Amino acid sequence: MDTRIPQYLDEPERYFIFTPDELIVVVVPLGLLTVVANFVVGLVVGFACFWALRRLKKGGSLTKLLWLMFWLLPYEVVGLKKTPPAQHRLMVG
């Protein structure tokens, strides 16, 4: 009987070094880009997605993700009603 006892009660389940959400974020881009483009491209994009997810999880809040979406995505995608579009950086008045 090979039973693993976690060190902490709230320790997440791990596959290799990844938690389940991190494993999905690495494997999906790696698999898709290996089929479409190249293994090395998939590996780099998978690592970048893993790094970004770790950074977002470290902050503990999804408001950082909303802030990033506001500045990087087009205005129509985010659709915030009470804020001006991010491309309007100079305000009159």
Tell whether 46 is covered by a domain. yes
Tell whether 42 is covered by a domain. yes
Tell whether 72 is covered by a domain. yes
Please count the other Cβ atoms lying within 10 Å of the Cβ belonging to residue 29.
20
What is the C-alpha separation between 25 and 23, in angstroms, rounded? 5
Provide the residue range defining the domain that includes 35: 20-78
Instruction: Determine the 3-state secondary structure of 55 from DSSP.
Output: helix
What distance lies between CA 31 and its chain's CA centroid? 17
Tell whether 64 is covered by a domain. yes
- pLDDT per residue, tens digit, the chain (93 aa), is 677 777 777 777 778 888 888 888 899 998 999 899 899 999 999 999 988 888 877 876 667 777 777 777 776 766 666 666 666 666 565
How many folded domains does the chain comprise?
1
What DSSP character marks residue 82?
S
What DSSP character marks residue 16?
T
Tell whether 83 is covered by a domain. no
